[in-house]
Amino acid sequence: MGGVETRGWIRDGLRAMAAGLLSIVLAVLNFPLFVLFLVSLVLTPVLGIGLVALPAVTALIRFKANLARRIAGWHGVTISRPYRPKPADVGPVGWKRYHWVITDPATWRDFAWLLPGAIGGLVLGTLTLALPAYGVEGIVLLPLWMYLAGEWSGYGVNWPVDSVGEGFLSMPQGLAFLALGLVVAPHLRRIEGLWSKLFLAPTRAAELRLRVTQLTTTRADTVDAQAAELRRIERDLHDGAQARLVSLGMTIGLAEELVERDPETARKLLSEARENSSTALVELRHLVRGIHPPVLAERGLDGAVRALALTSRIPTTVDSDLQGRLETPVESAAYFAVAEALANVQRHSAATFAYVSMHRHGDLLRLEVGDDGRGGADMAKGTGLAGMERRLAAFDGTMSVSSPPGGPTIVTMELPCASSSPRTMLSSGTD
């Protein structure tokens, strides 16, 4: 991305101008929507036409409002969606759908936005385009004027333009206006985003309701996952180590009986018992590693991921500025997510190189796992990826995957975290 800075403001300005044009076009659409909404509202008592029409119009308005929210996002203004989730028993038409739509305060706030939104879009869109356009006019004015030799009024501070010599002055002025317009344009877009946010953002109550819905989902997922995990551990212990220890006891008991009568068999039994105890230990070790890897308990996320990289089949580098320990659950969630991502790299990517980077920005832990493989990873397809997302969601973490066909694949994960007791890390000076 180097070398873009010098021309960056021109590119940003041009983009903002395009967005301004788009916003004018979209603003105009608000007027018919406004009328349609009013009409279908009024028609509700008449033959129940509104029962069908209003939800349909609302759907259009929501689509339009979501478009505005997304465009605001382009300019750094994030607006979350305030709508109440659709109740389970709502059909495509009918009273229930009508009721769901009309009782949602967000419907009315969207409606209240239609006219001011349109006016804001038109005014700010026009402003975005006007200044650069005036600049362009100044630059091309002179040749045009000389070509047409027509009547002319003036430009910028040269008003009126009296001679060809004065006409030349419009060029630098036009350049200045164009530059100013390009610089100002992104800011105007941002202002429009803020203007939309004023109407389209969820209210505090709506925000809380959204949060509750989200927490309910993630909690249910977490509880399910925990229960499944406990069942797995119980089964593994019961069928594995526990059974082996019982048989161990039996073998030793038998050996005890035989030690005098048949020392040869007793010796064989004892060596069998020892082998069985090793197997039980191996099983327990695997189980422990699956629950909470010892190296994670001992060294925290940084050390555990380094240990992981060391045994990875694909050369893997770790770049980390993590100091001290994170909260244990966050550490564990982050570790298993990175482990899963690295396992995916080894299984599917055909990469020759992988990296993990772990950095903290204030209270946000940012993890990135990337490779130079063939790409094509899809969140919607891989159950592993979906599982990782669920695991992170329990901590309000997010995950995104960029994996175009042909690669490279980059998995980015973000987790809110607060550092617990800062503990000095290894200082043996090994590296």
Partner 1 sequence: MRVVIAEDHALLRDGLTRILEAFGFEVVAVVDRGPDVLPTLTECKPDVAVLDVRLPPTFTDEGLQAAIAVRREVPGLPILVLSQHVEPLYARELLSDRRGGVGYLLKDRVSDVAQFIDGVRQVAAGGTVMDPEVVARLLDRSRPLDVLTAREREVLGEMAEGRSNAAIAARLFVTEKAVSKHINNIFTKLGLPPSEDDNRRVLAVLAYLDS
Residue closer to partner 1 by CB (options 210, 287) is 287
Q: Which is nearer to partner 1, 48 or 315 (CB)?
A: 315
What part of residues 285-304 is at the interface with partner 1 (CB under 8 A)?
A: 285, 288-289, 294-295, 297-299, 303
190 sits near partner 1 (criterion: CB under 8 A) = no
Inter-residue contact 131 to 16 (CB < 8 Å): no
For partner 1, the closer of residues 163 and 428 by Cβ is 428
Contact call for residue 274 and partner 1 (CB under 8 A): yes
State the number of binding residues for partner 1 (CB under 8 A). 26
C-alpha to C-alpha distance for 288 and 295, rounded to whole angstroms:
11
Q: Does 278 bind partner 1 (CB under 8 A)?
A: yes
- Distance in Å, CB of 314 to partner 1, minimum: 7
Minimum distance from residue 236 beta carbon to partner 1 (Å)? 17
Q: Among 242, 247, 277, 320, indicate the residue that binds partner 1 (CB under 8 A).
A: 277
Nearest distance from C-beta of residue 281 to partner 1, angstroms: 5
Contact segment (CB under 8 A) with partner 1 among 12-20, 134-142, 180-188, 306-314 equals 306-314
Name which of 233 and 284 has its Cβ closer to partner 1: 284
Shortest distance (Å) from residue 287 CB to partner 1: 11
267: contact with partner 1 by CB under 8 A:
no
CB of 406 to partner 1, least distance (A): 23
Q: Which of 6, 153, 163, 428 forms a contact with partner 1 (CB under 8 A)?
A: 428
| 430 lies in the binding site for partner 1 (CB under 8 A) | yes
Taking the complex as a whole, the smallest distance from the CB of residue 280 to partner 1 amounts, in Å, to: 10
Candidates 122, 180, 194, 307: give the one binding partner 1 (CB under 8 A): 307
CA–CA dist 185, 9 (Å, integer): 10
CB nearer to partner 1: pick between 192 and 371: 371
Query: Distances in Å between the alpha carbon of 377 and those of 259, 268, 371, 389, 403?
Result: 61, 53, 12, 14, 5
Q: Does 180 bind partner 1 (CB under 8 A)?
A: no
Kindly list the strands in the beta sheet with 354-361, ordered across the sheet, starting from the edge strand earlier in the chain.
Answer: 316-320, 354-361, 364-371, 409-416, 398-402
151 or 431: CB nearest partner 1: 431
318 or 377: CB nearest partner 1: 318
Cβ of residue 413: shortest distance to partner 1, in angstroms? Answer: 22
Cβ proximity to partner 1, 187 vs 289, nearer residue: 289
Torsion angle, alpha carbons of 25, 28, 29, 33, to 10: 170
Candidates 202-210, 232-240, 309-317, 391-399; binding stretch for partner 1 (CB under 8 A): 309-317
Among 42, 140, 281, 291, binds partner 1 (CB under 8 A): 281
Site for partner 1 in 55-114 (CB under 8 A): none
Q: In angstroms, what is the minimal distance from the CB of 409 to partner 1?
A: 19
In the complex, the residues that contact partner 1 under the rule CB under 8 A are: 274, 277-278, 281-282, 285, 288-289, 294-295, 297-299, 303, 306-307, 310-315, 426, 428-430
